[in-house]
Amino acid sequence: MSRRYFGTDGVRGRVGEYPITPEFALRLGYAAGRVLAGGAGDASVVMGKDTRLSGYLLESALEAGLSAAGVSVRLLGPMPTPAIAYLTRAFHASAGIVISASHNPYYDNGIKFFAGNGRKLPDAVEEEIESWLDRPLVIAGPDKLGRASRQEDAKGRYIEFCKASFPNTLSLHGLRVVVDCAHGATYQVAPSVFSELGAEVFKIACAPDGLNINEDCGATHPQSLVAAVRTHRADIGIAFDGDGDRVIMVDGDGEIVDGDELIVMIARERLEQGSALTGVVGTQMSNMAMELAIKEMGLEFVRAKVGDRYVMAELEQRGWLLGGENSGHILCLDKTSTGDAIVASLQVLTRLVRKQTSLREERRYLRKFPQIMINVRVKERVDPMANERIAAAVHSVEADLAGRGRVLLRASGTEPLIRVMVEGENHDQVQSHVEKLAELVRSSLA
């Protein structure tokens, strides 16, 4: 059975357009309640959201559907996505629900689920939930309806969880940190975590109004963070996305440090501290310099499809603990069950404090290769490598790069586009190759 509504990160869309409507959310809550409760009479779900205005609407509709299925709900209010994963486990809940569209603008929203172990639902469970959407909504008996309650101490619990991922023998005292919360779900907890660990914190984008989430701020728009780091003469800047599962950093010079660089720093720290780290998972978009750096440490490196869901699948299959994306999704499975931007940033800070070094100094160990991508609009989404001329040209470029570069051609999952990417050590060589490949794709498929 193919999933009709669940994508790689739950159900997502524009608010007011199907399926992001109150009617659908009601039925989804009921369907999820029937599946996730597993027939248990005391089933419960924890539910949190980011700061979008539409979160109120979807929260109420989901709560009603869950109650109709006989499932009780703990309402957490605005909380980062990884906080819901943690609190699902902490409260021994049947499942966790997050109302968020992550780094998207305010007019989008989404609904995603965590299993009782704090990890994303398997495809089979999402398919089972979808199978209930077309069934009649049969309300549980009047004495078996689910209850709803506010969990007032949720923020404090999560703050302590994050702090526990930082060694208690170290402190952030003396560190000047700018924290950009994207007017999103981390706006209350993230500044508290860093200040309680001793840092001097300067907050930006921490005043959500329901409409300004991710607007020219946060991990997807770090220019404001760059400016703030320079203004405050800070040692480091940390930017999160709207739901708190992506992190991008800025060093004291105002230079942006992406997920690839941060993962290498965490891997190096793990090895030096004697952790059982055997390999790292990246994605098709991870810079080749990251791959080479990981291998030079004596670790294995594999690439998953783009998306933290696929990184997680590779980690679970191999029994590995560290992976992520250059966009800032970083999974430290020795610390938590899902991508957690605050926890990941604390792992980087652990290294900087322990080594008494700066982010500027630490990033010297990874010199990223030039990576250039051109989007080519085509008639329809097809596999470009099925074309013999294109495949031959790709193999020719790969031979010219001689193992010190990569070529990636992939179809967009949402638009009739072919993404043509080439990376290598020489910028001019990369630029020449990517332009020629893009023109060949255009002439062959457009």
Q: Which residues are known catalytic residues?
A: 102
Distance, in Å, from the CA atom of 215 to the CA atom of 184, rounded to the nearest integer, reads 10
The sheet that has 279-283: what strands, in order across it?
A: 300-304, 279-283, 322-324, 330-332
Residue 8 gets which letter from DSSP?
B
Distance, in Å, from the CA atom of 229 to the CA atom of 234, rounded to the nearest integer, reads 5
Q: What is the DSSP string of 83-112?
A: HHHHHHHHTT-SEEEEE--TTS-TTEEEEE
Task: Please check whether residue 265 is in contact with residue 346, taking contact to mean a CB–CB distance below 8 angstroms.
Answer: no
What region does 233 belong to: left with phi over 0, alpha with psi -120 to 50, or beta? left
Distance, in Å, from the CA atom of 370 to the CA atom of 287, rounded to the nearest integer, reads 9
Task: Please check whether residue 416 is in contact with residue 445, taking contact to mean a CB–CB distance below 8 angstroms.
Answer: no
Closest Cα to residue 348, out of 359, 356, 340, 361? 359
Tokens 């499932």 sit at which residue?
Answer: 71
Distance, in Å, from the CA atom of 116 to the CA atom of 319, rounded to the nearest integer, reads 20
What region does 183 belong to: left with phi over 0, alpha with psi -120 to 50, or beta? left
Phi, psi of 363 (to 5 degrees): -80, -5
Peptide bond before residue 416 is cis, with ω within 30 degrees of 0: no
> What residues contact residue 134 under an 8 Å CB cut-off, 6+ apart?
none
Distance, in Å, from the CA atom of 256 to the CA atom of 238, rounded to the nearest integer, reads 10
Distance, in Å, from the CA atom of 292 to the CA atom of 305, rounded to the nearest integer, reads 19
Distance, in Å, from the CA atom of 373 to the CA atom of 403, rounded to the nearest integer, reads 19
> What residues contact residue 182 under an 8 Å CB cut-off, 6+ apart?
103, 205, 213, 214, 217, 218, 219, 220, 239, 240, 241, 242
